[in-house]
Amino acid sequence: MAVKTAIPQLTWTQVRPAPVVLVTGPETLLAERAIRSLRDTLKAADPSLEVNDLDAGDYAPGELLTLASPSLFGEPRLIRVQGVEKLTEAFLAETLDYLRAPDPDTVLVLRHGGGVRGKKLLDAIRSGAGGGIEIVCAELKRDSDKHDFARDEFRRAGKRITPGALRKVVSAFADDLAELASACQQLISDSSSEIDEQVVDRYYGGRVEVNAFAVADAAIAGRYGEALITLRHALASGADPVPMVAAFASKIRTMAKLKGARGADGQLAGTFGLSPWQVRRAREDLQGWEEAGLAAAIRALAAADHEVKGAGRDPVFALERLVRVVAAKGRTAART
Under the rule (CB under 8 A), what is the footprint of other proteins?
Answer: 57-58, 88-89, 245-246, 249, 253, 256-261, 272, 290-296, 298-299, 301-303, 305-306, 309-311, 330, 334
Closest by CA to 172, choosing from 137, 152, 199, is 199
Contact 52, 80 (CB under 8 A): yes
Q: Which is nearer to other proteins, 55 or 196 (CB)?
A: 55
Q: Which is nearer to other proteins, 21 or 294 (CB)?
A: 294
| Min separation Cβ 143 and other proteins, Å | 29
| Min separation Cβ 119 and other proteins, Å | 17
Q: Which is nearer to other proteins, 64 or 296 (CB)?
A: 296
In 3-state terms, the chain is what percent helix, strand and coil (to 5)? 60, 10, 30
**Residue 330: strand, helix, or coil:** coil
Q: Which is nearer to other proteins, 165 or 252 (CB)?
A: 252
Tell me 16's DSSP state: -
Q: Give the separation between CA 235 and CA 316, rounded to whole angstroms.
A: 9
The contacts of residue 118 (CB under 8 Å, 6+ apart) are 56, 84, 85, 87, 92, 112
Pairing of strands 77-82, 20-24: unpaired
Q: Which is nearer to other proteins, 58 or 190 (CB)?
A: 58
Q: Which is nearer to other proteins, 150 or 297 (CB)?
A: 297
Closest by CA to 288, choosing from 228, 199, 223, is 223
| Min separation Cβ 210 and other proteins, Å | 22
> In whole angstroms, how far apart are CA 70 and each of 20, 107, 181?
16, 12, 38
| Min separation Cβ 150 and other proteins, Å | 37
Q: Which is nearer to other proteins, 47 or 260 (CB)?
A: 260
| Rg over CA atoms, the chain | 26
Length of the chain: 336
| Min separation Cβ 205 and other proteins, Å | 37
| Min separation Cβ 290 and other proteins, Å | 8
Other Cβ atoms closer than 10 A to 158: 7
Q: Give the separation between CA 193 and CA 215, rounded to whole angstroms.
A: 36
| Min separation Cβ 297 and other proteins, Å | 9
